[in-house]
Amino acid sequence: MTTFARRNRGMTVALLLFVAPATASLAAEAAVVIPAPAVDEAMKGSSETAVFAGGCFWGVQAVFQHVNGVKNAVSGYSGGAKETASYETVSLGKTGHAESVEVTFDPHQVSYGKLLQVFFSVAHNPTQLNYQGPDQGTQYRSAIFTTSDEQQKVAAAYIAQLDKTGLFHAPIVTKLSKLQGFYPAEKYHQDFLTLNPGHPYIVYNDMPKIDNLKAIFPASFRANPVLVSKAKS
């Protein structure tokens, strides 16, 4: 989706909210309360990275920015070549990239398993194949780009565990692959929810995710998000 298209989508959402304010909130993605992973990573080191893709990176980034133990969450692109890692190109849906978020976290404060639980529960809907909510295309696919063999094993085991619970209305379609590269998105995409809380797309699609995070994971919720603009270099 191009910048122009996303602006138009925001206008469409604004119209829906104006025409049907009593029912509009019902259309936003609902969170699913799920168990924690039965298998998690061994605690090691003071810093680790994980990369998640779950639709538009604005909302996914914002969710992880509000998780205790997360040091930074950067919107970007994964799955394709460095040469095609730009918003206008990725939006064509032919680069192999997915809009992704690179999460840097302290394993002593939040485990990889907990991040997975948040990802599958409130950050996106893992049963939607090659789309997420209003956004269509492989660039909005559900994916986890693992940075180690242990991450790969934990994520695969968790998907199998969740599928067996029957808590989701359809099978999980999240694709696992080893991270080949992460390329930060343009500056105007970083911290987008915090900087644009009144944007119709954010109000309709992403603010409910923050509310769900606070309600379902109160012990993991941080009121003040960790922002890219304030991250230590």
Average pLDDT over residues 5-28: 41
Instruction: Give the residues across from 188 on adjacent strands.
Output: none
Average pLDDT over residues 173-179: 98
Q: Is pLDDT at 26 greater than 90 in this prediction? A: no
Q: Is pLDDT at 227 greater than 90 in this prediction? A: yes
Structure confidence by residue, pLDDT tens digits, 187-203: 999 999 999 999 999 99
User: Contact, 39 vs 113, CB < 8 A?
Assistant: yes
Tell me, what's the pLDDT at 154? 98
What is the secondary structure of 74-141 as a DSSP string? EEEEESS-GGG-SHHHHTTT-SS-EEEEEEEE-TTTS-HHHHHHHIIIII--TT-TTEETTEESGGG-
Q: Is pLDDT at 79 greater than 60 in this prediction? A: yes
d(CA 95, CA 20): 37
- 43 or 185, which is more confident? 185
Residue 140 binned pLDDT confidence (cut-offs 50, 70, 90): very high
- 126 or 43, which is more confident? 126
Residue range 45-228 in CATH 3.30.1060.10 = yes
Q: Is pLDDT at 211 greater than 60 in this prediction? A: yes
Catalytic residues: 56
User: Contact, 23 vs 113, CB < 8 A?
Assistant: no
Q: Is pLDDT at 137 greater than 50 in this prediction? A: yes
Q: Is pLDDT at 226 greater than 60 in this prediction? A: yes
Average pLDDT over residues 146-175: 97
Q: Is pLDDT at 8 greater than 60 in this prediction? A: no
Each domain of the chain, given as residue ranges in start order, spans 45-228
Tell me, what's the pLDDT at 233? 53
Q: Which long-range contacts (CB under 8 A, 24 or more apart) does 4-10 make?
A: 5/91, 6/201, 9/134, 9/201, 10/199, 10/200, 10/201
Tell me, what's the pLDDT at 13? 42
